[in-house]
């Protein structure tokens, strides 16, 4: 039986335990199956193969029926590390387990991400092929997403992240194709593109269409608001009319309008990063953007779960509320806690000498994650504390049947000797 000591009942101590579980889980997973792969889909619309990577969440098990929300990242290979860093540090309390998908835009990037054809940009001839955003949108909606949904354990709850031209694309996706994604993060978006055409269209649609249920986070890197004039600041930039400030002014214009236009129903937030450049702003934007988009996901009343005086009945009521919040936002049934949290609270209550609460968490873990060998094994730990070796044997047997792992086989032998 595993032994975990909880000396201080704080949310930090609980999550350090979750990290220990995750580390053990990752060690097991890496020897059994790949947690990250590179895949390719052929697009008839683009007449080319398009590469992308897929990263599975910490608790992914290919034999489980569990399905996950998906985050789609444009410029997926260049921004891969930033997204993974944010996700790996914030899943659990701030973010649900999700599948991450990084779409390659290493070829035909400007063509695919810009919303209209132009001949001149910032006083120079535009030699690149432009204006293919609608075609690329159709590729994502009708070819890429169906391919991913068919091959991987996904749900329809999707988030799109884009930077610069991809930020322009992201806002266009929300404004003109809002049914495809629920959440959007536009990082330093090039919304000044083609004489601010999308900005103008967005203003019109945000006043006339319903965006309820959709969320958007926009960021602006303000370190170089004007490349030549350091006197231009976030406070006076809107008084400038030069081409050099058009990029930032367009983002500010869009963001202040979206923030004030409450009748659209859009859940909106934006942030200016005063110390960041265009190239450094993706990392903090992803962190703040994802935390904002999933603010409703953040766990409610953690102190009550840690308090030994909270009753089982009160915990059940809290868990019911949490499950309703999750299921309402995701649009499908969703457990009130991830598996690691249910297990963590179970062990915590065992150490606190509150077996009734521990049993509740372990039982709930099995109910929500019936194909988890770890959940079955945790219940065996509970019964071992009760010296009920027959019941412990039953749950370890189930864990071994589910996983076939030697550690459960070895534990079976130990329990059979005690029984």
What is the pTM assigned to this prediction? 0.87
Neighbours of 412 (CB within 10 A): 17
pLDDT in tens, 183-213: 999 999 999 999 999 999 999 999 999 999 9
**Bridge-based pairing state of the strands 99-103 and 215-221:** unpaired
Please report which confidence band the pLDDT of residue 305 belongs to, taking 50, 70 and 90 as the band edges: very high
CATH topology of domain 34-297: Rossmann fold (3.40.50)
Considering the chain, what percentage of its residues have pLDDT values greater than 90? 74
How far apart are the C-alpha atoms of 305 and 75, rounded to whole Å? 41
For position 62, what pLDDT does the model report? 84
The stretch 12-22 carries a mean pLDDT of 44
Is 196 exposed, middle or buried, given 0-12, 13-18 or 19+ CB atoms closer than 10 A?
Answer: middle
Average pLDDT score over residue span 75-87: 97
**Model confidence at 33, in pLDDT bands (50, 70, 90)?**
low
pLDDT tens sequence across 345-371? 999 999 999 999 999 999 999 999 998
State the span(s) of the chain assigned CATH 1.25.40.10: 302-418
Q: What is the pLDDT at residue 112? A: 97
pLDDT at 123: 62
Residue 35 has pLDDT above 90, yes or no: no
Residue 8 has pLDDT above 80, yes or no: no
**352, burial (CB in 10 Å: exposed 0-12, middle 13-18, buried 19+):** middle
Q: What are 400's two structure tokens?
A: 């071994």
Residue 28 has pLDDT above 50, yes or no: no
Stretch 57-81: mean pLDDT, rounded?
Answer: 92
For range 65-94, the mean pLDDT: 95
Architecture of domain 302-418: Alpha Horseshoe (1.25)
pLDDT at 148 over 60: yes
* pLDDT of 381 higher than 60: yes
Q: 46-70 as b/e, with b when 16 or more CB fall inside 10 Å? A: beeebbbbbbbbbbbbeebebebbb
Q: What is the pLDDT of residues 281-295, one digit of tens each?
A: 999 999 999 999 999
Q: Give me the percent of the chain exceeding a pLDDT of 70.
A: 90
Instruction: Answer yes or no: is pLDDT of 414 > 90.
Output: no
- Please report which confidence band the pLDDT of residue 11 belongs to, taking 50, 70 and 90 as the band edges: very low
In whole numbers, what is the pLDDT of the chain averaged over residues?
89
Could you tell me the pLDDT band of residue 64, with boundaries at 50, 70 and 90? confident
What local confidence, expressed as pLDDT, does residue 319 receive?
A: 96
- CA-closest candidate to residue 378, choices 412, 352, 344: 344
Q: What pLDDT, on the 0 to 100 scale, is given for residue 24?
A: 40
pLDDT of 12 strictly over 60: no
Q: With a cut of 60, say whether residue 13 has pLDDT above it.
A: no
Higher pLDDT, 67 or 123: 67
Instruction: Judge residue 80's burial from the number of C-beta atoms within 10 Å of its C-beta, 0-12 exposed, 13-18 middle, 19 or more buried.
Output: middle
pLDDT at residue 150 greater than cutoff 70: yes
The reported pLDDT for the residue numbered 4 is: 36
For the residues 360-385, what does the mean pLDDT come to? 94
Q: Where in the chain is the domain with CATH 3.40.50.1820?
A: 34-297
């Amino acid at each position: 039986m595993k032994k975990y000591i909880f000396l201080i009942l704080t949310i930090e101590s609980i999550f350090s335990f979750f990290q220990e579980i995750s580390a053990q889980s990752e060690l097991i997973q890496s020897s059994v199956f790949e947690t990250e792969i590179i895949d390719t889909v052929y697009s008839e619309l683009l007449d080319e193969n398009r590469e992308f990577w897929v990263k599975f969440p910490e608790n992914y098990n290919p034999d489980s029926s569990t399905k996950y929300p998906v985050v789609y990242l444009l410029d997926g290979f260049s921004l891969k590390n930033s997204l993974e860093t944010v996700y790996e540090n914030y899943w659990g309390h701030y973010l649900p387990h999700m599948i991450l998908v990084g779409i390659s835009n290493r070829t035909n990037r400007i063509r695919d991400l810009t919303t209209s054809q132009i001949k001149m940009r910032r006083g120079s001839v535009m030699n690149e092929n432009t204006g293919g955003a609608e075609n690329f949108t159709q590729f994502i909606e009708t070819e890429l997403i169906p391919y991913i949904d068919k091959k991987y354990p996904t749900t329809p709850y999707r988030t799109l992240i884009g930077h610069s031209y991809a930020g322009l694309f992201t806002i266009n996706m929300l404004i003109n194709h809002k049914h495809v994604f629920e959440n959007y993060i536009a990082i330093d978006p090039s919304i000044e593109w083609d004489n601010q055409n999308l900005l103008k269209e967005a203003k019109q649609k945000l006043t006339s269409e319903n965006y309820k249920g959709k969320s958007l986070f926009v960021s602006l890197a303000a370190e170089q608001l004007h490349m030549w004039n350091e006197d231009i600041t976030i406070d006076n930039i809107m008084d400038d009319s030069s081409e050099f400030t058009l990029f930032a002014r367009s983002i500010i214009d869009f963001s202040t309008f979206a923030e004030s236009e409450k009748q659209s129903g859009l859940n909106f937030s934006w942030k200016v990063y005063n110390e960041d450049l265009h190239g450094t702003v993706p990392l903090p934007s992803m962190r703040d953007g994802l935390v904002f988009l999933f603010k409703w996901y953040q766990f409610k009343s953690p102190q009550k779960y840690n308090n030994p005086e909270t009753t089982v009945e009160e915990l059940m009521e809290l868990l019911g509320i949490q499950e309703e919040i999750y299921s309402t936002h995701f649009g499908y049934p969703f457990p009130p806690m991830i598996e690691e949290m249910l297990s963590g609270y179970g062990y915590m209550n065992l150490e606190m000498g509150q077996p009734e609460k521990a049993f509740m968490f372990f039982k709930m873990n099995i109910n929500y994650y019936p194909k988890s060998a770890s959940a079955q094994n945790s219940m065996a730990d509970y019964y071992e504390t009760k010296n009920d070796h027959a019941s412990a044997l039953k749950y370890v047997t189930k864990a071994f049947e589910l996983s076939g792992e030697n550690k459960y086989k070895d534990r079976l032998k130990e329990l059979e000797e005690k029984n």
